[in-house]
Structure 1
Amino acid sequence: MVPFAGWEMPVQYSNLGVLASHNWTREKASLFDVSHMLQTKWIGKDHTRFIESLTVADIQSLPLGQSTLSVFTNTSGGIIDDTVINKQSDSNLYVVSNAGCAEKDLKHIREQLKGFQDKGGDVDVQVLEAFSLVALQGPSAAKVVESLVGKDLSDFKFMTSRHLDIKGIPVYISRCGYTGEDGFEISVPDSEVVRLSELLLENPDVELAGLGARDSLRLEAGLCLYGHDMDEATSPVEAGLTWTIGQRRRTEGGFLGAERILPQIKGGVPKRRVGLIVEGAPAREGAKILSVDGEELGTITSGCPSPVLKKNVAMGYVKSGFHKQGTDVQVQVRNRLQKAKITKMPFVPHQYYRG
């Protein structure tokens, strides 16, 4: 167990080491306790207009029951946090953001909320404090959930959500996750989370997994970790998240930092987030990235051995112009220069269920 964002979190469980847990997730299904994540409900007739003032998402065009990944931005165009927004109904949004940013996110949201309400805006943001969150991830996830709800879920697609009853437990379940695999995130009342977890773990294909496997799985999937691969000094364009900016938002703007972010889409940025395959020892956060001629290009933000590829993978930022796939670079690991190559992400193909 380790301290994590004000919580005590398991790195691994006793029955499976980190490597075995990682591979189990890729082959069967793992259950992650992610109750530390911040769950909020946004209500009021102006909730869409308010959240669009804080994020780059086009919520107006989002269909009911659909989710989208987005980012909260600051006035200088940096990323305050990444978040998943779901249109739960016409009258409310269900939003999940990072535990490590919860205090900062809420302070920012409440400051902006007061100004919005003072101008007559009808909106409120409620923290769902009586709810836990668990994530079931892996190729067996769907059949495990189907066996408990007693119905076929082939019409339940990636980045959609719905209310379900699991053996008498009311849940709000989203088909998404942070591993690159098919799977679900399940919001459940605190009073029922242990019973729900025990029901899921009764299936022989399900094992508990902790932070160690979660980190290597998300890195293989090319997914960012806030505070490492993106932060308040990094724009969505630099972070390779331009795709999160809705087409309408690119024309209309209207979100914090739009004056910096929108010109970057056409005009370019000084640095770019890239994937790397590194020879030799694994490159960890903080390692310098250099050109083959020795010019300093940037820094590694995440890195580990890939259990699937049996190679060392890493993510980092390099000077624009050196970000193209196939570019040879060097990485400094413990005062030694090691060969590396800029590589497309995800390193391991996503297995999201799109129907």
Structure 2
Amino acid sequence: MTENEPTGEEFAVPTATLPLDAWHRDRGARMVEFAGYWMPIQYEGIMAEHMWTRENAGLFDVSHMGQISLSGAGVAEALEALVPGDISALKPGRMRYSLLLGEDGGILDDLMVTNEGDQLGIVVNGAVKWDDIGYLRENLPDDITLNHNEDYGLLALQGPKAATALARLVPEAAGLVFMQAARAIWNGHAIGLSRSGYTGEDGYEISLPNEALEAFADALCAMDEVKPIGLGARDSLRLEAGLPLYGHDLDPTTDPIEGDLAFAISKRRREEGGFPGAARILGHLADGSPRKRVGLLVDGKMPVREGAKLFDGNTEIGIVTSGGFAPSVGAPIAMGYVPRDHAAPGTAIAAEVRGKRVHCTVAAMPFVPHNYVRKQGG
């Protein structure tokens, strides 16, 4: 290499900052790298923040996630060629959890799709948003317009007091139930809100222009019910709720049935197919998949982390994909993949931690009941 040739370090992509980076730091957040961004992992402590969200309302900054708009004639049918959900039947103001699928039915990402009336809104995971955008551009018809809304941030207000707090700023929030969305105006800014989230608690996600984020966050955190909450508690809350994290519990080698996400395959799509990997996925739906994502209750106090191997006796049978201490459970819990014949709740297996075997029991998920506010009778 000559003196003037660039080194690999010069091509390294710098860690990005969130629009509220300074806001988090001013509030004492400990920042870590996650999904290519500096993210607040905690303020006063993961345990305290976890329990605050369970009992009050926690404000999470999830602006690292990708917000995408799709529009054009036949946009719902075009998206259905890439996901297993019934997007055509999605009414304005309604949302659906779905999965972006590779050709073999492997999961490229999990995402939320909202019918916004004049377009579809999609929220994708931050770590793979650029891959998702490229995949969508390549595989959607040319007459479908894709916009990446980089000038909008995303906040999540989660917990049993979230509705009371948010309605003071955005009265429209009170009229929504789980998986409904609406548009509103706050201080002259157009915002989008949905009654959704990834903690298992009641709550909302609020999309608003980057220039409005700080004032909106300040207005919420001025309320007695609301505190800023970091990434650490978001992870422990979603783990207790049995919700998979893409890149850990789901990846391109995993299909929806293995990932215990059969609910994301709508009835019409089960009958008609027409999505990537339909033969593999519908075959697993009918006959069972070779392996399955399961919950694990862990004996003792030693956490079982991602990457720990799972055993039946001396036979290695699977792997842990997420794990840690569950504050609301008061014990360690985990998720992982085991063969179908080991997936029934109550099955005893073991995890290997630092060369020692830790006893585990396959458990039904969620570990803590979901507290979503659903439509009466629905």
* TM-score after normalising by structure 1: 0.94
- Counterpart of 1:259 in structure 2: which amino acid? A
Which one of 57, 61, 67 corresponds to residue 39 of structure 1?
Answer: 67
8 Å contact from structure 2 (residues 166, 173) kept in 1: no
Distance 1:150 1:186, change over 3 A: closer
Distance 2:124 2:343 in 1: 29
1:243-296: CA deviations, max 9, x gaps?
Answer: 1001111111111111211111102111000000011311001111112x3322
Residue of structure 1 in register with 2:256 after alignment: 236
8 Å contact from structure 2 (residues 173, 193) kept in 1: no
Distance 1:203 1:67 in 2: 29
Aligned counterparts, 1:196-235, within 5 A: 196-235=216-255
Aligned counterparts, 1:97-246, within 5 A: 97-113=124-140, 116-117=141-142, 122-150=143-171, 153=174, 155-246=175-266
Which one of 290, 300, 304 corresponds to residue 283 of structure 1?
Answer: 304
Which one of 66, 69, 74 corresponds to residue 94 of structure 2?
Answer: 66
8 Å contact from structure 1 (residues 169, 196) kept in 2: no
Residue of structure 1 in register with 2:108 after alignment: 80
Residue of structure 2 in register with 1:5 after alignment: 35
> What is the percentage of aligned positions where both structures have the same residue?
43
8 Å contact from structure 2 (residues 172, 184) kept in 1: no
Distance 1:345 1:6, change over 3 A: same
Residue of structure 2 in register with 1:302 after alignment: 322
Q: Does 1:23 align with 2:51?
A: yes
- Counterpart of 2:245 in structure 1: which amino acid? L
Give the CA deviation at 1:168: 4.0
Give the CA deviation at 1:167: 4.3
Distance 2:155 2:304 in 1: 31
- Structure 2 gaps, min length 5: 1-30
Residue of structure 2 in register with 1:351 after alignment: 371
1:301-323: CA deviations, max 9, x gaps?
Answer: 00011101101110000011110
Which one of 333, 346, 350 corresponds to residue 353 of structure 2?
Answer: 333
Q: How many residues align?
A: 344
Question: Aligned to 1:22, what secondary structure does the other structure show?
Answer: helix
8 Å contact from structure 1 (residues 132, 193) kept in 2: yes
Residue of structure 1 in register with 2:19 after alignment: none
Aligned counterparts, 1:48-63, within 5 A: 48-63=76-91
Give the CA deviation at 1:50: 1.1
Question: Aligned to 1:10, what secondary structure does the other structure show?
Answer: strand
Distance 1:295 1:306, change over 3 A: same
- Counterpart of 1:277 in structure 2: which amino acid? L
Give the CA deviation at 1:147: 1.7
8 Å contact from structure 2 (residues 176, 194) kept in 1: no
Question: Aligned to 1:230, what secondary structure does the other structure show?
Answer: coil
Question: Aligned to 1:233, what secondary structure does the other structure show?
Answer: coil
Distance 1:175 1:246 in 2: 21
Question: Aligned to 1:225, what secondary structure does the other structure show?
Answer: coil
* TM-score after normalising by structure 2: 0.89
Structure with larger RCO (C-alpha < 8 A, sep 6+): 1
- Counterpart of 2:144 in structure 1: which amino acid? V
8 Å contact from structure 1 (residues 28, 205) kept in 2: yes
RMSD value over aligned CA atoms? 1.2
- Structure 1 gaps, min length 5: none
